[in-house]
């Protein structure tokens, strides 16, 4: 009878080891996916920040040109 009980626990250990391997594999897969998503999002943020800085430069240039137009209009009104 003791041999049957030992065999039963041996199967439970094998099943537990299998489950642990599945859990470990799942955790590794989740970590890899998280790193991939993080890298993708980081790249998007960098691209958006670059676009934002370009837009700021364009707006600064536009404001300079608007100021020049205001100055020219003011000069024309004085004459």
The pTM for the full model equals 0.53
Condensed to tens digits (0 to 9), the pLDDT of residues 6-62 reads: 555 555 566 688 888 999 999 999 999 999 999 999 999 998 888 888 888 899 999
| Helix/strand/coil (H/E/C) assignment for every residue in the chain | CHHHHHHHHHHHHHHHHHHHHHHHHHHHHHHHHHHHHHHHHHHHHHHHHHHHHHHHHHHHHHHHHHHHHHHHHHHHHHC
- Band (pLDDT 50/70/90 cuts) for residue 1 is very low
Rounded Cα distance between 48 and 52, Å, is 6
């Amino acid at each position: 009878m003791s041999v049957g009980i030992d065999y039963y626990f041996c199967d439970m250990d094998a099943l537990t080891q299998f489950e642990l391997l599945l859990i470990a594999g799942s955790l590794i897969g989740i970590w890899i996916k998280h790193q991939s998503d993080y890298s993708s999002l980081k790249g998007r943020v960098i691209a958006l920040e670059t676009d934002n800085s370009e837009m700021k430069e364009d707006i600064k240039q536009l404001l300079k040109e608007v100021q020049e137009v205001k100055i020219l209009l003011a000069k024309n009104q004085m004459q």
